A = this chain, B = another copy of it.
Amino acid sequence: METVSTNKAFGGTQGVYKHASAVTGTEMTFSVYVPPHAEGAKLPVVWYLSGLTCTHANVTEKGEFRAACAELGLIFVAPDTSPRGEGVADDPEGAYDFGLGAGFYVNATEAPFATHYRMRDYIEQELPALIAAEFPADMERQSIMGHSMGGHGALTIGLRNTGRFKAISAFAPIVSPLNCPWGEKALSGYIGTDRAKWREYDACALIEDGARMPSGLLIDQGTADGFLENQLKPELLEAACRATWQPTTVRMQEGYDHSYYFISTFMAEHLAWHAERLKA
Interface residues of A (CB under 8 A from B): 7-11, 14, 61-62, 64, 66-67, 222, 224, 255-257, 259-262, 264-265, 268
Q: Are A9 and B265 in contact (CB under 8 A)?
A: yes
Q: Are A262 and B62 in contact (CB under 8 A)?
A: no
The one of B14, B64, B260 that contacts A261, using a Cβ cutoff of 8 Å: B14
CB neighbours (8 Å) of A222 from chain B are: 8
CB neighbours (8 Å) of A268 from chain B are: 67
Task: Count this chain's copies in the assembly.
Answer: 2
Residue contacts A-B, CB under 8 angstroms, 23 given: A7-B257, A7-B259, A7-B261, A7-B262, A8-B222, A8-B224, A8-B255, A8-B256, A8-B261, A8-B265, A9-B265, A10-B264, A10-B265, A11-B265, A14-B261, A61-B61, A61-B62, A61-B260, A62-B62, A64-B264, A66-B261, A66-B265, A67-B268
* Of A7, A61, A257, A259, most B-chain CB atoms within 10 Å: A7
CB neighbours (8 Å) of A261 from chain B are: 7-9, 14, 66
CB neighbours (8 Å) of A66 from chain B are: 261, 264-265
CB neighbours (8 Å) of A7 from chain B are: 257, 259, 261-262
Q: How far does the alpha carbon of A261 sit from the alpha carbon of B65 in the complex, in Å?
A: 12
CB neighbours (8 Å) of A264 from chain B are: 9-10, 64, 66
* Known A8-B262, A64-B64; 6 more pairs at CB < 8 Å: A7-B259, A8-B261, A61-B62, A64-B264, A66-B265, A67-B268
